[in-house]
Structure 1
Amino acid sequence: MSACVEETAFSKTKETTRIVIIGAGASGIAAATKLLEQGFKNVQLFEAEDRIGGRINTVPFANSFVDLGAQWCHGEEGNVVYETVKDLDVLDRTGDFAVYFVRSNKEILSDEQTKVLKEFKDEFEVKPDCEGSVGDALNESYWKEVGQKAFPDNRTIAKEALDCMKRHICSEDACDTVSELSPRNYLNFHQSGGDQNLSWRQKGFWKFLSILLNANEDQPGDQGVLKGHVHLNKRIAEINWSGSGETTLRCWNGQIVSADHVICTVSLGVLKEKHPKLFVPALPADKVRSITGLKLGTVNKFLLEFEVQPFPEEMRGIACLWLEEDLKELRGSKFFWLESICGFHRVDRQPLLLEGWIIGAHARYMETLSEEKVLEGLMWLFRKFLSFSVPYPKNLLRSQWHSNPNFRGSYSCYPTYADELRTGRTDLGSPLVHVSGRPRVQFAGEATSQTHFSTVHGATESGWREADRLIEFYKGRAEN
């Protein structure tokens, strides 16, 4: 009876309903721009940072722009990012990524060994009947297909290469170790066909957002059609969805906002840390289980600008292989965190830059160090691995995604813990609805995407998904 009364009393239309979107990253921007296009008038975005973009963060560096967050467009077929920009000539194909596998004694693996390793990495897949973790599957396949083939007389180097490959996979899938990664991370993800590392010719990933926003591509951060709808530096302290009427939001500065619909796009890391106090009443058990089970991993990058490119012309990048005795010594030193650096590579169209990657717990530790200490470690690493001298860079830029309270990580993955809890992304993305079916609190973001998680196109799709949910709900409702 009360549901019927409430539904009858709810007389809002697209023109009068109040929608608050928490977070102005790719998913929040996608949801907001689509709702405005469809005639919704009262759409407000509350963003905790002092900028829009979320984990897309294109910044000026070295007389150009670099991406501290999302960097590549992964695939062409079925990728909404690629579909949006494909006719604008703004993407470059990376071509063959010529990486040198370098040991900590400066020895470089042979071309044949490198070829075998690269082919294995490109072709490695997890079978549907896989039991255990991705690490288990990787170990079995590697020693069966590669270990003896590429290194018939040297199991020591074979193991170094395997450990290096594991770090690379962790950087792609945002896990601390491959032993914690569930096979679902491969089986549930739908890879878009085509080039997996399309790089932006200019303006970085901001180019994509500028199109969604109809904003100035030369001014990263321009709010475009969302001008007047975005409120920066507005971290939400509480989402009160008690009762059956409106939802009340309280900002950290005490401001109170009421809404008929809330779309929450905060990162999985923020949900993990804040959900017990953020939501009143507490979230349903199935959603809490998904927040607990899924993981937002840490992947950070270093960007170094030099007077002259330090890598030889033929060297596109390096991957680090640690000798056991060197690794043991490293772990007892102040540079222990360098173990989780995957390697360094040149940056497309930026000939004076090198970019490096670091994963997991050591990435989180690196975030706590001063820039001076980070640079000291990186220079030590170059001297340890390279037979040629790398000069001190003119500038260093690094990402710090975990220590930022508005992110607490980089992108999501399925750990085996999610398997143990029998949970996944469907529960994370399901809305909190009134018994009448009216969406009250909705959830978007890359972690809610069932098939394109950990990508910008997945985040964008999730924003459109939640916008479509409201568009469908308001179909047929007469204008006032």
Structure 2
Amino acid sequence: MLVRTVIFLALAVFGSSTDEMQVYDTIIVGMGAAGCTAASVLCKAGKKVLALEAQNRVGGRVNTVPFGSGVVELGAEWIHGDHNSRVYDLAIQNNVTILSQDVSFQVFRSDGTMPDKKMINDLVNYALESVDDPPEEPEPLGQYLTRRLMEYMALKYPSLLEDKDFIDQFLHFMDLVVNNYEASNSWNDITTHSKYMDLKGDLHLSWHKNGYKTLFEILLNTYRDGPGYPNLNLQLEKEVTKITYPQDPAQDVEVTCKDGSTYKARNVIVTVSLGVLKESYETLFAPQLPSSKVESIDNITIGVVGKIILDFEKIWWDTSSGLHGFLWSDEAAKEISYEDRWMRRIEGFELKMGSNTSICLWTAGDATILVSMLHISCAWDGKCSMTF
């Protein structure tokens, strides 16, 4: 799963040189990927670090949990790219096996028939590759990809042009595929021009049975029963409510937590998510942030992606494809009740490499919000061992 936006905000105030005033060299607020990386670098440099995390775990948007026959990722799923990737390099340097996940599609139509697998994957790959070849003038991505796909079909699969039902179903399917990449409601909500850049190499590298949590064990020096860092004080369930950074460089930064505790340091690194910043920046910082940073926080948006992860006693699906897609016919869509309308926003399901008896259905945009509000018994009939 791709994350488009990371806010890494550093407030550096160099204070008193007296040992009595300098409790910590650095306080890190938030222990997701950015926070744990900062802690690792600073601790290796011999700095005295206090890390404050509001949740009861480290990892932020990475959340590996035991499930099914192994582990599953409730958050970030893959290492995206193996060239110039700090994450991939850390895994290899620590002899962690990383596996490439099969992301080829086997697609099913509503009547149970399966279009040619090679053709489907050719069309999907062509569409995704076309994203990296935008037109000179910006336009909605869905509009652009539809045009490119129709041109490609006319050139390579001309008989498809006679099957209007297939074209409509496949374009709807591609809309959902793009939404799962972009966390959007519609592929036409996205522009063809973007400054986002993929790293080179395989974009779907899996931690499989190891789990993405391994990255944080490596960063915090606890992997394979490592001793951690003696100069790191990590405190969980510590929600920060105020960061007071003085204008006088002779004074320290003061951090206040929800439980009333306060801490001081020469500088503070804030790595909380964009959502947390949007909700709290007006009261979190004293004095308030410069207008340039406030403008960035207000104007940057981030979408929503969700997962429905199911485990089964037996594997009933074809394991020769990592992804199984759905092409919804209009007739099948009309049979779906209003309460279950989110189902048509499911592109298909993905096999889980960390638990071979589990599958994952991805949702994006408003469908994710709708599903998250449903009681699990309303969403699925039968036995389910996971709630959300």
TM-score (norm 1): 0.70
Counterparts of 1:123-138 in structure 2 under 5 Å? Answer: 123-124=129-130, 125-127=132-134, 129-138=136-145
**Partner of residue 49 from structure 1, selected from 52, 55, 61:** 55
Provide the residue aligned with 1:176 in structure 2: 185
Counterparts of 1:275-290 in structure 2 under 5 Å? Answer: 275-290=281-296
- Tell whether the 8 Å contact from 2:124 to 2:174 is kept in structure 1 after alignment: no
Provide the residue aligned with 1:446 in structure 2: none
Once the 2 structures are TM-superposed, how far is the Cα of residue 368 of structure 1 from its aligned partner? Answer: 1.6
**Partner of residue 350 from structure 2, selected from 341, 345, 350:** 345
Once the 2 structures are TM-superposed, how far is the Cα of residue 30 of structure 1 from its aligned partner? Answer: 0.6
AA at the equivalent of 1:232 = L
Provide the residue aligned with 2:326 in structure 1: 320
**Partner of residue 306 from structure 2, selected from 295, 300, 312:** 300
Once the 2 structures are TM-superposed, how far is the Cα of residue 213 of structure 1 from its aligned partner? Answer: 1.4
After superposing the two structures, state which structure 1 stretch, 317-326 or 56-65, moved more.
317-326
Distance, in Å, in 1 between the alignment partners of 2:242 and 2:153 is 53
AA at the equivalent of 1:247 = V
AA at the equivalent of 1:234 = K
AA at the equivalent of 1:168 = V
Label 1:294 to 1:142 Cα distance change in 2 as closer, same or farther (>3 A): farther
AA at the equivalent of 1:372 = S
**Partner of residue 92 from structure 1, selected from 76, 88, 99:** 99
Q: Is residue 2:240 matched to residue 1:231?
A: no
Label 1:115 to 1:37 Cα distance change in 2 as closer, same or farther (>3 A): closer
Distance, in Å, in 2 between the alignment partners of 1:9 and 1:216 is 34
**Partner of residue 315 from structure 2, selected from 303, 309, 318:** 309
Label 1:129 to 1:315 Cα distance change in 2 as closer, same or farther (>3 A): closer
Provide the residue aligned with 1:163 in structure 2: 172
After superposition, the C-alpha distances for 1:145-169 in whole angstroms (9 at most, x for unaligned) are 2377542202332122112112112
- Tell whether the 8 Å contact from 2:170 to 2:327 is kept in structure 1 after alignment: yes
Once the 2 structures are TM-superposed, how far is the Cα of residue 56 of structure 1 from its aligned partner? Answer: 1.3
- Tell whether the 8 Å contact from 1:126 to 1:137 is kept in structure 2 after alignment: no
Distance, in Å, in 1 between the alignment partners of 2:230 and 2:312 is 38
Label 1:223 to 1:255 Cα distance change in 2 as closer, same or farther (>3 A): farther
Q: What is the total number of aligned residue pairs between the two structures?
A: 368
Counterparts of 1:15-164 in structure 2 under 5 Å? Answer: 18-41=25-48, 43-87=49-93, 88-95=95-102, 97-124=103-130, 125-127=132-134, 129-146=136-153, 149-150=156-157, 151-164=160-173
Label 1:17 to 1:238 Cα distance change in 2 as closer, same or farther (>3 A): closer
Q: Is residue 2:325 matched to residue 1:335?
A: no
Taking only the aligned residue pairs, the percentage that are identical comes to: 27
After superposition, the C-alpha distances for 1:57-80 in whole angstroms (9 at most, x for unaligned) are 111112422211112111111111
AA at the equivalent of 2:101 = T
- Tell whether the 8 Å contact from 1:58 to 1:203 is kept in structure 2 after alignment: no
Provide the residue aligned with 1:196 in structure 2: 203
Provide the residue aligned with 2:267 in structure 1: 261
Label 1:184 to 1:260 Cα distance change in 2 as closer, same or farther (>3 A): farther
Once the 2 structures are TM-superposed, how far is the Cα of residue 121 of structure 1 from its aligned partner? Answer: 3.2
After superposing the two structures, state which structure 1 stretch, 257-266 or 209-218, moved more.
209-218
Label 1:271 to 1:226 Cα distance change in 2 as closer, same or farther (>3 A): farther
Once the 2 structures are TM-superposed, how far is the Cα of residue 139 of structure 1 from its aligned partner? Answer: 2.8
Distance, in Å, in 2 between the alignment partners of 1:92 and 1:8 is 44
Distance, in Å, in 2 between the alignment partners of 1:226 and 1:146 is 61
After superposition, the C-alpha distances for 1:17-58 in whole angstroms (9 at most, x for unaligned) are 5311110111101101111111212x1111010111111111
Distance, in Å, in 2 between the alignment partners of 1:164 and 1:156 is 12
Distance, in Å, in 1 between the alignment partners of 2:14 and 2:231 is 34
SS in 2 for 1:296: coil
Distance, in Å, in 1 between the alignment partners of 2:207 and 2:107 is 26
Once the 2 structures are TM-superposed, how far is the Cα of residue 299 of structure 1 from its aligned partner? Answer: 1.0
Label 1:256 to 1:53 Cα distance change in 2 as closer, same or farther (>3 A): same
- For the aligned residue pairs, the C-alpha RMSD in angstroms reads 2.8
Q: Is residue 2:361 matched to residue 1:356?
A: yes
Distance, in Å, in 1 between the alignment partners of 2:15 and 2:319 is 70
- Tell whether the 8 Å contact from 1:78 to 1:192 is kept in structure 2 after alignment: yes
Distance, in Å, in 2 between the alignment partners of 1:53 and 1:227 is 20
Provide the residue aligned with 1:274 in structure 2: 280
SS in 2 for 1:229: strand
- Tell whether the 8 Å contact from 1:170 to 1:176 is kept in structure 2 after alignment: yes
Once the 2 structures are TM-superposed, how far is the Cα of residue 91 of structure 1 from its aligned partner? Answer: 0.7
AA at the equivalent of 2:108 = V
Distance, in Å, in 1 between the alignment partners of 2:100 and 2:243 is 43
Provide the residue aligned with 1:365 in structure 2: 370
Counterparts of 1:339-418 in structure 2 under 5 Å? Answer: 339-348=344-353, 350-376=355-381, 392=382, 395-396=385-386, 398=388
SS in 2 for 1:118: helix
Once the 2 structures are TM-superposed, how far is the Cα of residue 217 of structure 1 from its aligned partner? Answer: 4.5
AA at the equivalent of 1:190 = M
